[in-house]
Chain A
């Protein structure tokens, strides 16, 4: 008898599967459905338990929904586009993406972290059945699949963990550095309000300045931005709409800070000549 082609072998196997299930299978109801029902009850109970712990450790002690309970607050302070001293944080299942951005932080490779790597990973995931073509289902005979899966799970776990524990400087910590900036950069008094604003307005969530802050999304170090002599007007225009001046810039618009504060920031940036 001729050797079966792969396609014939697959079809034969599925034929055997159907015959086996017909001969020796058990009806979905009540056998499998019993397990499903128990599991579903567990799931609903876990959700109710999480909701209860969240509520009774956040709001209950002080009748304040912004109180940090075991599972976080009920809600943070109201959204305020004006004072951007808030460090952005996605929900936990996006931490891996969030941390990926820190790996690809140079301007030309940002899009690799934001779009490139996730897209390639998604394509590899969705097309898995189209390149893993063997009929073998036992793990011991799928070494490549096992190694791939272990590496995927490890890298997702590490990225999620690093994203969860990434230390962004808080505004209150950054503002303590302002006197040090004034000294190191010989900042004129006119630049001090801008320096304080720079510290609290969330700039250091993406930019570094004299070693403070974290670089994100390809945002450059601003310690010596003043040496480029871009001019106050340019700085203001750029802050108002970064992507208008610098197409493709992922930096958010800060027009909502208002002309006065943008001017202060621009003065500070132009006075930043690199220290020493």
Chain B
């Protein structure tokens, strides 16, 4: 039977043209980079159906880091890393620049929130046993991120160049100095000389806004890559836990460790 095709109406034609206009740049980009496919893969990848609120702590930590990065860039536009100007530039930012107090306040308090969230996120991963095979490397990357975050705290603390900043850093550097072999060398490197002064400040500033954030961004990308590649774990107490043991008729599957009788969770067996 012949199908009679009516010509498309005006609105249908317009719709098609619109779709083509939207798709063209996306297709163009996809054809040349594969980025659209990558983003789609990231967004529409499956996660276990029983993931819960505790598993938002990782992305919350990332958000806190983004807050630090954005406010840090703005602060760097006004801050002057010299012993003569640092304190007054901090005063200027906090008390005179429009919304400067908010930017510095968010950076100062965001640091504490970032550290707390890293610890909570680590606690969640521990609670879920999510560091176990095959996610060992991501635990290592996470601990390195925690270490880098603490170093950001240490180097950033000096920058306001007030009494708190100065004397905490004097003690901090002297602590490093007590390490065997490397200690004195490390203390000398951090100070940039014999005394804490202009060279120490620029050194800390450079580490605080270039070296360590660069390392953190690289480690975060690696961290996320591994999360996407290896998947998110189910809560271990979940009845619907992805990857749970099932007792099969042929007994070919092992029993959960510590069990002698085949009474596993999800005892209903594979559905």
Contact = CB atoms under 8 A, between A and B. Distances in A.
A248 B178 contact: yes
B178 A76 contact: no
B112 A93 contact: yes
Contacts of A88: 167-168, 170-171
Contact of B236 (A24, A84, A138, A217): A138
A181 interface: no
Chain B interface size, as a band, is: 35 or more
Contacts of B76: none
B94 A43 contact: no
Residue from A27, A65, A88, A122 having most chain B Cβ neighbours under 10 A? A88
Contact of B64 (A43, A77, A139): A43
A120 interface: no
A93 B115 contact: yes
Interface in B49-74: 49, 51, 53, 55-57, 59-60, 63-64, 67
Contact of B140 (A126, A141, A250, A253): A126
Interface stretch (B10-18, B19-27, B122-130): B122-130
B35 interface: no
Given A125-B143, A139-B127, A52 B168 contact: no
Contacts of A17: 231, 242-243
Contacts of B90: 75
Interface in B219-265: 231-233, 236-237, 240, 242-246, 250-254, 256-258
Contacts of A246: none
A129 B139 contact: yes
A91 B153 contact: yes
Chain A interface size, as a band, is: 35 or more
A14 B109 contact: no
Given A46-B113, A134-B257, A55 B45 contact: no
B134 A54 contact: no
17 contacts: A9-B254, A28-B46, A35-B51, A40-B60, A42-B60, A43-B117, A51-B108, A59-B95, A80-B163, A90-B154, A91-B168, A129-B135, A134-B132, A138-B237, A217-B178, A248-B184, A253-B194
Interface of A: 1, 3-4, 9-10, 12-14, 16-18, 20-22, 24-29, 31-33, 35-36, 38-40, 42-44, 46-48, 50-52, 54-55, 59, 63, 65, 71, 74-81, 84, 86-94, 97, 101, 110-111, 114-115, 122, 125-126, 128-130, 132-139, 141-142, 145, 149, 202, 217, 243, 248, 250-253, 255-256
Given A1-B251, A48-B106, 6 more contacts: A44-B67, A75-B160, A77-B163, A81-B195, A115-B176, A122-B147
